[in-house]
Amino acid sequence: MQLFLRSDKLHCVQVDENDLVLSLVEKIQSLEGLSFEDQVLSYHGTVLEVEQTIAGAGISDLATIDILGRLHGGKVHGSLARAGKVKGQTPKVDAQEKKEKEDRSSHAQDAIQSSLCQRCTNLWQKTRTQFQLLNSLISV
């Protein structure tokens, strides 16, 4: 039976269907240089056990077997104990004083007042009396 072994490279090997998966592992060790402990073999997404025969694992002729490296897992001591606790790690910043807001209503009145004053001075220069000035402002 001919099988394809896929890792970084693609290898073609000849095996007997009554051989154990362990024989594949040994061939991979000689081809790739991966140690026995670092190899994980999978076929159609299922991990192959070393004690199984090739036919017992459901592997047929011209099948492709994936070679994966074993991942070292687990948590580092205390890494989850500090998760989400940023308060002690960030420096405290003193609060700054807030600026007082200016009263903008007086500015609006000043703008209106200045426009009226400009009109008044123009009219005052033309009329020259307060009575005439007031009459002209009322008519405007």
User: What are the pLDDT digits (tens) for 25-66?
Assistant: 888 888 888 887 888 889 998 888 888 898 888 898 999 999
Instruction: Give residue 12's pLDDT.
Output: 92
Q: What is the CATH number of the domain that holds 39?
A: 3.10.20.90
Which of residues 77 and 22 earns the better pLDDT score?
22
- pLDDT (tens digit per residue) in 102-136: 766 655 555 556 666 666 666 555 555 666 667 76
pTM passes above 0.75: no
Classify burial at 57, counting beta carbons within 10 Å of its beta carbon; exposed 0-12, middle 13-18, buried 19 or more.
Answer: buried
Q: What angle do CA 63, 69, 73 make, to 5 degrees?
A: 135
Residue spans of beta strands (DSSP E) within 33-113: 39-43, 46-47, 64-69
Please tell me the distance from the alpha carbon of residue 59 to that of residue 63, in angstroms, as a whole number. 6
Residue spans of beta strands (DSSP E) within the chain: 2-6, 10-14, 39-43, 46-47, 64-69
Please give the tally of structural domains in the chain: 2
- pLDDT (tens digit per residue) in 76-92: 666 666 666 666 666 77
Evaluate whether residue 120 is within a structural domain.
yes
- Domain span at residue 131 reads 105-139
